Structure 1
């Protein structure tokens, strides 16, 4: 993967994806990625068992983790440092409260 010149996106397999917020502290990034991977595993498990409610819940956790990372929602480069911090802290609080951590 490589980053675009402005650092806002990564390019993987010819597709451009929003990059994670570079302001994220390493501990917050690690925790959000752990939640993201756990949620992705839960999506796969729910699909294998044909459980639409569990799949929806897992997909909601994926979305929340990716939003916390800055990969979804308002672009991180359009947010103040305070709004960026609130974004990842809020996502971590909700994901930690869910109890389904990685």
Structure 2
């Protein structure tokens, strides 16, 4: 079991009393930036697509893929080997880029 972060403060972020999982700190900065860009576009798409169920679904899919890639959803990043986390992040980015086509 991998353990890059020893404390809850390194694994979780609390905002307004709600706990959110932090981004996997082992991911390269360029990969995090690309996934974060897709996350922002997905969130913006959700806001714009309120009346269109298909567009809302597509935007939520983008958000979900980005959050999984960042390690903010899915298996806890601190419980997995670093190479598996990197593979998942790259796979998520590849799927997100396919959505652009």
Q: What is the distance in 2 between the residues matched to 1:57 and 1:98?
A: 9
1:14 Cα shift?
Answer: 1.6
> Could you report, residue by residue, the CA deviation over 1:62-99 in whole angstroms, capped at 9, with x for unpaired residues?
00000000000001011111110111000000011111
Q: What is the distance in 2 between the residues matched to 1:75 and 1:19?
A: 10
Which consecutive residues of structure 1, in runs of 5 or more, have no partner in the other structure? Answer: none
For these two proteins, the number of residue pairs brought into alignment is 95
Q: What is the distance in 1 between the residues matched to 2:36 and 2:16?
A: 21
> Could you report, residue by residue, the CA deviation over 1:41-82 in whole angstroms, capped at 9, with x for unpaired residues?
1111110xx100110111011000000000000010111111
The aligned counterpart of 1:35 is: 38
- Following superposition, which runs of at least 4 residues in structure 1 exceed 6 angstroms of deviation? none
